[in-house]
Amino acid sequence: MLVFKYLSKTILLILCCIIVVNVSSAEFNSNNNNIDFKNVFKINNNSSIGSNNNIGSGSSITSSISDDSGYDHFTKEQIEKLDSIVYISSGMGCAGALFIIITFILFKDVRSFATKLIFFLSLSDLMSAISYLPFGRRNTVMCNLQGMGLVFFLSSSYFWTMCISISLFVVFFTSRYELNHWLKYFHMVCWGIPFITALVSLLFHAYGRTASWCFLYDPTSVFRLLYYVPLIAVFFINLLVFVAIRWKISQHSNSLVSKVNIIVSFYLIAFTLSQLPTIINSFQNFSKPNDPQFSLYAFQLLLQPLQGFLNCIVYGINEGFTKHYIYFFEKHICRCRKSRELKEIESDRINLLVDYDTSDEEDIMDHDIDKLIIDDYDGVGV
């Protein structure tokens, strides 16, 4: 698919940037500090660059991994506990994201503008869950790769969530339902801004050891702001959009209002549950950089990699992904008669994002509030 072609090119570009920065930094240090070129890929257990003074004097994160404050204050047993947590949460996050990705690829009739947004969100969730795995410790190249992967894919996930919120807002508050032409702009924002942020952080050697993984190691640096400010902005945008949608729905005396309110609440709860511990931990690190709290790191590793799983529950189930597997199983495995009747029976499930052929906005809100559309009708594929 075209999306995988561009995604693979993006990942390859990230790897090339990491190699170039590592090589150039190693050569610079070799000329100025007599550091051997092999240090680019050397595991170094004794050096520390967890201070801003080292950056200003020309030391590079590519020659060693910083034993920053977030790591120094945790024992080996605590680090192992964090590893155990992230293995479980990342595994569940990958499973949830893969469910949506595989469903989108296998079943052509599930592909719409709405599910495209969910598909790209799931791609970001999958890669961010993989990036959270503790493979970057002590090795400078892998540490840079992990840090850049987390910044890029987590930021991308935030922006795709924002795009879904914006699309819902447009559907509920305007008469515009043909939004497929917005997709190219969504791609520019959701991939472009995270890539610039991740690349700039790499060029300024901002990645280093934080607790059990590699990330932006200085909690008070401007690079942390470049990462967390968009996250906080997206959080409040989603909150305002979903509050506005619930208010809009409450203006109509439809029997489905309460059910739709529950679904809208689930969207907000899923995002809040996965991101709020990260926001709280970032504030704590910023206010007390030398006093990291193990419990906050544990909650962050438990919930943030779980985002793909939570999105699978909220978006995957509500948008009808599971019914395709049920139909396939009944048709090809059980060969049940019921499978031939599924397409003729109207589902009781309420869909907030799936396409339906409808044009009267007032009629939608009053009689078919469960059949909102945010797709156009040009049949454009991914």
| Domain boundaries, given as residue ranges, for the chain | 82-367
Interacting residues of 251 by C-beta distance below 8 A, sequence separation 6+: none
Kindly indicate the confidence band of residue 258, based on its pLDDT and cuts at 50, 70 and 90.
Answer: low
Q: What is the pLDDT of residues 56-82, one digit of tens each?
A: 333 443 444 444 444 567 888 999 999
296-324 pLDDT tens trace: 999 999 999 999 999 888 877 665 677 77
- What per-residue confidence (pLDDT) applies to 373? 38
Across 34-38, 266-270, 343-347, the highest mean pLDDT is recorded for: 266-270
Residue 275 is classified by DSSP as H
Nearest to 217 by CA among 52, 341, 345, 13: 52
DSSP letter for each residue of 230-267 = HHHHHHHHHHHHHHHHHHHHHTS--TTHHHHHHHHHHH
Q: Which is higher by pLDDT, 268 or 22? A: 268
Alpha helices in the chain (DSSP H): 2-33, 52-56, 69-72, 76-106, 113-131, 140-173, 183-187, 193-203, 222-250, 257-287, 294-303, 307-311, 317-318, 321-328, 337-341, 361-367
Report the run of H or E that residue 216 belongs to, with start and end. Answer: strand 213-216
The CA distances from residue 242 to 7, 168, 238, 314, 323, in Å, are 30, 9, 6, 14, 26
Q: Is the pLDDT of residue 260 over 90?
A: no
Which whole number is the average pLDDT over 156-177? 86
pLDDT confidence bin for 341, thresholds 50/70/90: low
The answer, yes or no, to whether residue 21 has pLDDT greater than 50, is no
Amino acid in the structure at residue 106: L
pLDDT for position 169: 86
What pLDDT is recorded for position 36?
42
| Whether the predicted pLDDT of 274 surpasses 80 | yes
Q: Write the pLDDT tens digit of every residue in 185-225.
A: 999 999 999 999 999 999 999 999 888 899 998 888 899 98
Query: Are 125 and 93 within 8 A, CB to CB?
Result: yes
Query: What number of residues does the chain have?
Result: 382
Residue 183 pLDDT > 60, yes or no?
Answer: yes
**pTM to 2 decimals?**
0.73
Nearest partner of 134 among 48, 42, 65, 50, judged by Cα: 65
What digits encode the pLDDT tens for the residues 118-132? 999 999 999 999 999
Out of 19-28, 104-113, 357-366, the most confident range is: 104-113
Q: How far is CA 80 from the centre of its chain?
A: 25
Q: Mean per-residue pLDDT for 317-343?
A: 64
For 332, other C-beta atoms within 10 Å of its C-beta total: 9
State the number of CA atoms in the 13 A half-sphere of 169 facing the CB. 14
Percent of the chain with pLDDT over 90: 31
State the Cα–Cα distance between residues 139 and 131, nearest whole angstrom: 15
What are the CB-based long-range contacts (under 8 Å, 24+) for 220-226?
220/286, 220/289, 221/52, 223/197, 224/282, 224/286, 226/197, 226/200, 226/201
pLDDT at 32: 44
How confident is the model at residue 361, as a pLDDT? 44
Please tell me which of 156-165, 329-338, 357-366 the model is most confident about, judged by mean pLDDT. Answer: 156-165
Q: Does position 295 have pLDDT exceeding 50, yes or no?
A: yes
- Which amino acid does the sequence have at 277? P
Higher-pLDDT residue of 379 and 313 is 313
Provide the CA 356 distance to its chain's centre, in angstroms: 28
In CATH, 82-367 is 1.20.1070.10: yes
pLDDT value at residue 304: 93
Contact 32, 175 (CB under 8 A): no
**Per-residue confidence at 252, pLDDT binned at 50, 70, 90?**
low
Two tokens, residue 217? 């190691």
Banded model confidence at residue 261, pLDDT cuts 50, 70, 90: low
